[in-house]
A and B are shown apart, each in its own frame.
Chain A
Amino acid sequence: MNIHEYQAREFFRQYGIPCAEGKVVTTVEEADQAARELGLPVVIKAQVHVGGRGKAGGVKLAKKIKEVSAYANDILGMDLKGFTVQKVLVVPAAKIKKEYYVSITHDRENEQFMFVVSKAGGVDIEEVAETTPHKIKMVTISAAEGLSDYKAREVARTLWRDGLTIRQAAGIFQGLYNMAIAQDFSLVEINPLILNREGKLEAIDGKVNVDDNALYRHPDYESIRDYTMEDPNETKADAAGLSYVALDGDIGCLVNGAGLAMATLDVVKQYGGEPANFLDIGGSSNPEKVVKALEIIMSNPKIKAILFNIFGGITRCDDVANGLVEAFKRINITVPTVVRLTGTNEVEGRKILESTNLISADNMDDAIKKVVAAAKGASA
C-alpha cells in the first residue's frame, strides 16, 4: 500500500521531521483561499501515487493569486500517468539552497534497515543509481542497537560537515528510523530534503510504502488508503486473497504459486503469446477463489484465451476443478480455455472436468502451446 505525499508529510511532522504544513484542496476556489491563508509564494502539487509529478506538469510554483488559480485549474482533473488528479496540496514555497536525497528501506543482504542518502537530491534517484552510482551512499543500521545518537550523526556526516547541520540531520534520521519501525513502512523517502537559506533542513517532498504483510496490525490505515489510486482489479484480487498484476496482453493466466505464475508468463512470451496478467490463486484454494479470479480476468475486454496452470501442492486439483465448473456456470466465458492440472488429487480433478468443453493439456509446455495457438486463432 502507498499513501499520498500530504499524508506522508503528516507522518513526518508526527516524528519531528521539519516539514511545512499546507492545505489539501479539491477546487480552484479552495486553492486560492489556501494560498491567501498560507501566504505567497506557494507550490501547487498534484496528489497522485506516481513518481515524476514535476516533470509531468503536476507541480507548479505560484507567485501571485492569479497564478494559483491558473495552475490549480490546470492540475485539478488533469491526467497524470493514467491517474486523474482529484486533490492538490498547496504549500508555502521553500527557499532552497541545496537539495539532498534521504530514505530508509530494507537491506535484504544484511537483513537490516538501511539509509540511502545522496547529495544528488530532487531528481529521480533510480536515474542517479544508474548513471552516477558513486553519488549514492548506503548505511546499514543494526536492529539490535537501533539508531543511537552517535550512529545518527555518523549517517549525517556522509552528507554534511558542520556540527549544527549534523545535529539537525541526526534528529531527522532518528525520526525516519522510528517511523519506519513503528508504522511498518517498507520505504520512507524524503526527496528532496533541503537546506534552506536560513540554514535549516526541511523535507519538501515525501513518499511512503507500507509493508502489506503488516497491514493487519494497523487497522487505522484503512482510513488513509486511497483506493482510487489502485488498479480496481488488483484491489478486488487483494480482497479475495489473490495476487494480481495487470499486464498488456490478451492471454488471461491463472496459476497457483507466484514462482510458477511468473514462469508461466515468461514461457507464454517465449512461445509468441502476450500474457494479460499475473494471477496467483495462492495455497489452500477453494472454489470461491477460482470464481473471483475468473471474474477479474474476464473483466478485461482484451482477453482472447485463458490458461489455467495448476500444480497442486497445498492446492488440491479437485478443489480447482470444482471451482472451474462452478465459475463456468456463473459467468459466460466465451473464449477458449486451456486447463493443466497436475499434482494432489489430479485424477479426481480431471474427472470433474471431463464433462465440460475445456481444452485439457498434459503438462505446462503443452498447455502454453495450446493457449498461444488458441489466442492467435481467436484474433485471426
Chain B
Amino acid sequence: MSILINKDTRLIVQGITGRDGSFHAGQMKEYGTQVVAGVTPGKKGQEIHGIPVFDSVKEATRATKANASVIYVPPAFAADAILEAYAAKLKFVTCITEGLPIADMIRVRQLVKNNKKTRLLGPNCPGLITPGESKVGIMPGSICLPGRVGVVSRSGTLTYELVNALTQKGIGQSTCVGIGGDPIIGTRFVDVLKLFEEDSETDMICMVGEIGGSDEEIAAEFIKKKVSKPVFSFIAGASAPKGKRMGHAGAIISGGKGTAESKITALKEAGVKMSDTPFGIADLVAEALAAKV
C-alpha cells in the first residue's frame, strides 16, 4: 500500500522545460514513475523525454487523467504554481522549489485552508519515493530498497544518508518522505506519522528532525497518544548557534525555542529511540528487527 504515491500515481511536472524540471522528469520516468504530462505556459506541443507539454495544469489533467503534480518553477512563480495545481483538483502536489517568500506561503495556505481534497508536500523539499513503484521529486532512487520501514525528514540529503544506511543493512523502506525545511509547509511530521501508522505495509518509522519551530515537539505528543509502531529519530543542529539561520529558512533557534535539546527531550518522553547520528538510526532499526525475530 505505502503512503501518498504508488505505481498508480499519474504525475504532471510543472516547470518541465526548465533545467531541473527536465532533468528530474527524465530521472523520475526512468525510475518507473508514470510521468504523464509536463506544464510550461506557452510551450504547449513540445515533448521532453517523450512527455507531452501543456500550457496549463487543468488542460494537462484533462488530457492525461493525472492525479498528482510536482513543481520545479523558480521561487517567484511557485506560489502561483501551487494554486494552479489546487485549482485543477489534483490529489497530491509536491513543491520542490526553495526560496519562496514566507508571505507567499501564508497567503497560499490561507487560500487553500478548507481544501481537504488536495495535499501539498513542501515547499523546499526533496519529494518522496515509494521504492520500486514511484518517485516524485529529486531523491536518488538508487539508494532505496522496497521494504517496511517508513522514513520522514525535514531535510533532503539527511534523508538520503539515513535511507542509504538502511539499504546497506538490507532494511527496505515503504515510503521515504522529505517534508521540507521551510517554516511553513503543507505536510508536517504529524500528518506523515498518521499515514504511516495507518499503513498496513509500514512496521516501523524513522523520523529525522532539525532545530527550529516546534513540529518535532508536536509530533512527540502525537506519537505518545496515537502511534503504536516503533519510532526512531535523530535531530540535527545540536551544535548550531542561537539566532543563526542554518541553511534552511526554518532552521533557526529564536526566543529560546526550537532547540535540539527540547526536541530530543520531548521525543524521548514519547518513547522514541534517539540516535546521536543520522546513520546510527539504521543500527537502532536493525537491533529492533533482530529482537523481533
Chain A residues within CB distance 8 Å of chain B: 106, 108-109, 111-113, 125-126, 129-130, 142-144, 181, 184, 186, 211-214, 216-217, 243, 245, 247, 255-263, 265-270, 275, 278, 280, 283-284, 311-314, 342-344, 363-365
Given contacts A108-B214, A263-B236, A284-B20, contact A258 B246 (CB under 8 A): yes
Closest 8 CB pairs of A and B: A259-B155, A258-B247, A257-B157, A259-B158, A214-B101, A260-B157, A262-B236, A280-B247
Nearest-CB residue, chain B, relative to A111: B109
B235 → A minimal CB distance (Å): 9
A368 → B minimal CB distance (Å): 9
Q: Which residues of A contact B276 (CB under 8 A)?
A: 266-267, 270
Binding-face segment, B54-62, B80-88, B136-144: B136-144
Q: Which residues of A contact B140 (CB under 8 A)?
A: 312-313, 343-344
Nearest-CB residue, chain A, relative to B234: A263
23 residue pairs A–B, Cβ–Cβ below 8 Å = A109-B214, A109-B218, A111-B105, A111-B109, A111-B110, A111-B184, A186-B102, A213-B249, A214-B101, A214-B102, A216-B76, A258-B248, A260-B158, A262-B155, A262-B246, A263-B234, A263-B237, A283-B20, A283-B138, A284-B19, A311-B157, A314-B20, A363-B279
**Which of A112, A212, A278 contacts B240 (CB under 8 A)?**
A278
Docked Cα-Cα span, A303 to B214, in Å, equals 35
B247 → A minimal CB distance (Å): 3
Docked Cα-Cα span, A108 to B215, in Å, equals 9
Given contacts A262-B247, A266-B239, A342-B164, contact A213 B155 (CB under 8 A): no
Docked-complex contact A216 and B240, CB < 8 angstroms: no
Docked Cα-Cα span, A216 to B103, in Å, equals 13
Does B172 lie at the interface of the complex (its beta carbon under 8 Å from any beta carbon of A)?
no
Docked-complex contact B184 and A267, CB < 8 angstroms: no
A-B contact count (CB 8 A): 178
Q: Which residues of A contact B213 (CB under 8 A)?
A: 108-109
Docked-complex contact B156 and A269, CB < 8 angstroms: no
Q: Which residues of B contact A214 (CB under 8 A)?
A: 101-104
Q: Which residues of A contact B109 (CB under 8 A)?
A: 111
Given contacts A108-B183, A343-B143, contact A265 B239 (CB under 8 A): yes
Q: Which residues of A contact B103 (CB under 8 A)?
A: 181, 184, 211, 214
| Additional 13 contacts, C-beta under 8 A, given A258-B246, A260-B158, A267-B277 | A106-B183, A109-B213, A243-B246, A259-B248, A261-B246, A266-B277, A267-B276, A283-B98, A314-B126, A314-B138, A344-B142, A364-B161, A364-B279
Docked-complex contact A365 and B247, CB < 8 angstroms: no
Interface centre among A108, A130, A245, A312, by most B CB within 10 Å? A108
Does B202 lie at the interface of the complex (its beta carbon under 8 Å from any beta carbon of A)?
no
Give residues 146-167 of B contacting A (CB, 8 Å): 153-161, 164
Interface centre among B103, B109, B240, by most A CB within 10 Å? B103
Chain A's interface: helix, strand, loop or mixed, by majority? mixed
Q: Which residues of B contact A216 (CB under 8 A)?
A: 75-76
Nearest-CB residue, chain B, relative to A145: B110
Docked Cα-Cα span, A245 to B139, in Å, equals 26
Given contacts A213-B249, A243-B247, A263-B278, contact A106 B157 (CB under 8 A): no
Does B272 lie at the interface of the complex (its beta carbon under 8 Å from any beta carbon of A)?
no
Docked Cα-Cα span, A113 to B183, in Å, equals 12
Q: Which residues of B contact A313 (CB under 8 A)?
A: 126, 138-140, 156-157, 160
Docked-complex contact B247 and A108, CB < 8 angstroms: no
Given contacts A262-B211, A270-B277, contact A126 B234 (CB under 8 A): no
Docked-complex contact B244 and A245, CB < 8 angstroms: yes
Binding-face segment, B4-12, B44-52, B250-258: B250-258
B171 → A minimal CB distance (Å): 16
Q: Which residues of B contact A245 (CB under 8 A)?
A: 241, 244-246
Nearest-CB residue, chain A, relative to B159: A259
Q: Which residues of B contact A129 (CB under 8 A)?
A: 255-256
Docked Cα-Cα span, A258 to B184, in Å, equals 17
Docked-complex contact A211 and B236, CB < 8 angstroms: no
Nearest-CB residue, chain A, relative to B111: A144
Docked-complex contact B277 and A111, CB < 8 angstroms: no
Given contacts A213-B101, A257-B158, A278-B247, contact A143 B211 (CB under 8 A): no
Docked-complex contact B110 and A143, CB < 8 angstroms: yes
Q: Which residues of A contact B75 (CB under 8 A)?
A: 213, 216
**Which of B100, B260, B278 contacts A213 (CB under 8 A)?**
B100
Given contacts A108-B183, A314-B20, contact A144 B110 (CB under 8 A): yes
User: What sequence of 0s and 1s flags, for each residue 212-249 of chain B, a beta carbon within 8 Å of any chain A beta carbon?
Assistant: 01110010000000000000001011111100111111
Q: Which residues of B contact A113 (CB under 8 A)?
A: 106
A310 → B minimal CB distance (Å): 8
Given contacts A126-B255, A259-B208, contact A343 B160 (CB under 8 A): yes
